[in-house]
Amino acid sequence: MKIARMHVLLPVDPDTVLAGVMEFQKALLEELRKRNLEEEIKVLETGSIGITGKGILMVVYPEGIYYANLKVTDIPRIVEEHFLKGRPVKDLLLGEVPARFVKKEKVGLTREQKRVVLENVGIIDPENIDDYIAAGGYEALEKVLTSMKPEDVIEEIKKSGLRGRGGAGFPTGIKWESAKKAPGDEKFVICNADEGEPGTFKDRLILEGDPHKLIEGMIIAGYAIGAEKGYIYVRGEYELSIRRLQKAIQDAYSYNILGKNILGTNVNFDLEIKKGAGAYVCGEETALIESLEGKRGQPRNKPPYPVTHGLWMKPTVVNNVETLANVPSIIKNGAEWYRTMGTEKCPGTKVFTILGHVVYPGLIEVEMGTPLRDIIFNYGGGIKDGKRFKAALVGGAAGVFLPESLLSVRMDFDNLKQYSAVLGSGAILVMNEDTCMVDMLFSIIRFFKHESCGQCTPCRIGTYELYALINKVREGEAKEEDLDKMISLSEAMFKSSFCPLGQSLVMPVKSAIENFREDFLAHLDKNYKCEKCRR
């Protein structure tokens, strides 16, 4: 058996594909073939390593060296200097040298993280089930099927304190328990992979980079609550995710990990992919269910909750991708292990997306409770081009604008509540001093107006009215009372919208106007020059 002496990982995700990684890969393989190096140097496609905006990336092992912004013309030099002579090409490296496993000075997103859901992403080939198994995959499933009763699984998840990672933070163990207890012969597990929150693509990383982890989590969930059918509702735009999921599901079936009599037991579980069709509102669990049933994607009234009346009005657990991706590790390593990370009320890790005016935009997975300042400055590398920090939009479009004074807030569900903020999907959009907050709020309002399903009056018309009002501000037609009108309108929407979409506008509207009132007041003057708002 030939063992390669060097592994070259090429993260393949929409970001790098756009930069030309497929052509780069072809050229690299050609170069290696020319020099008779294909046996000793293995080139692998992996999922995203969480770094964005840095063109074609390449990670070389065993050193753990990160290259960035590569071009096809760099290949001969890298092969000659690094692969053959062992001298990494310094001017092509990402930031500085250190790698994940080398405990030296770390920079940017390569800094040490606690990777649980992302432990395999960027390391294994996501289209190879054997890679997943070799990395310890499906061991948790084996443990569950051979030595745990469904109640034991639920108990373990409850003890771990795992909370939903989709945004609401509901205790997962309790959700599973309610579904298990609910009367009914047929139950379902649905994975919410709609990932519509702007600025969020954490689930995409898992779907593209480690689809089997999700599958394993779903089978365990099905076993725990007594469901034999699962659906992964993926947003239709995630082509690569869907393709990799399909391959993973196919392989799992052929390995008898899905289907009837899993791994020789009397447990059955079928898994199907359903594609979304471009509606943010279908990320709301009951609208998702309506869409799955082939109806207009609009939310249902709650109660009753999906755990008792979900898909086809039967007991259903709807969980986010990241939530389910935590399950195998919790089962394998135990609830106590999980609790060693994070905070008491929010144990475990969280994938954060750092975007905007930072040096290193991308994704990291760190413990719950990490201070926002650390995330932005230590991992994100701080504000790029030497500019100053102005604001961070935390939680996604349905999030809160935090000013500099609140940078020390710890990022978990409960701590953020104190500042009327939400963890949401973990998206952090960083804005520098040149940003116009009126323009930012305009973008957000425009998004919600576009995505409102139209079912309820407060949101359908309220989002349009907010849009009309913010346009007045942009164009210099507004009075100061219009700013207060926007706040009171969004508060009325919070109190009377049918679902969280309409309810959440109060967060960006209120936080933008209250924390950055100067920006808005400046726009009241028709002659005020703003590049973003007034061309």
| CB atoms near residue 368 (< 10 Å) | 25
Distance (Å, whole) CA 324 – CA 331: 11
CA angle 186, 191, 194 (to 5 degrees): 135
Contact pick of 178, 268, 432, 496 for other proteins (by CB under 8 A):
496
Q: Which is nearer to other proteins, 54 or 309 (by Cβ)? A: 309
Torsion of CA 138, 127, 110, 381, to 10 degrees: -120
What mask of x and - would describe binding to other proteins in positions 267 to 286, judged by CB under 8 A? ------------x-------
Mapped onto helix, strand or coil, the DSSP state of residue 15 is helix
Does residue 462 belong to the site contacting other proteins (CB under 8 A)? Answer: yes
Residues in region 467-486 near other proteins by CB under 8 A = 468-469, 472, 485
What is the nearest approach in angstroms of other proteins to the Cβ of residue 492? Answer: 4
Report DSSP letters for 111-124, one per residue: S----STTSSTTTS
Report DSSP letters for 502-521, one per residue: HHHTHHHHHHHHHHTHHHHH
Does residue 504 belong to the site contacting other proteins (CB under 8 A)? Answer: no
Q: What tokens appear for 157 in the block?
A: 């998840």
What is the nearest approach in angstroms of other proteins to the Cβ of residue 488? Answer: 8
SS3 for 359-373 is CCCEEEEEECCCEHH
Contact pick of 2, 103, 495, 535 for other proteins (by CB under 8 A):
495
Contact pick of 245, 376, 400, 489 for other proteins (by CB under 8 A):
489
Does residue 452 belong to the site contacting other proteins (CB under 8 A)? Answer: yes
Contacts with other proteins by CB under 8 A: the residue count is 33
- Taking CB under 8 A as the binding criterion, the range among 127-135, 153-161, 375-383, 446-454 that sits at the site for other proteins is 446-454
Contact pick of 492, 521, 522, 524 for other proteins (by CB under 8 A):
492
- Using alpha carbons, select from 453, 182, 197 the residue that is nearest to residue 306: 182
- Taking CB under 8 A as the binding criterion, the range among 17-25, 160-168, 420-428, 456-464 that sits at the site for other proteins is 456-464
What strands lie across the sheet with 188-193, from one edge to the other? 270-275, 229-234, 188-193, 316-320
Does residue 520 belong to the site contacting other proteins (CB under 8 A)? Answer: no
Does residue 455 belong to the site contacting other proteins (CB under 8 A)? Answer: yes
Half-sphere exposure of 453 (CA within 13 A, CB side): 25
What is the nearest approach in angstroms of other proteins to the Cβ of residue 353? Answer: 26
User: Rule CB under 8 A: which residues touch other proteins?
Assistant: 279, 296, 301, 303, 449-458, 460-465, 468-469, 472, 485, 488-489, 492, 494-498, 503
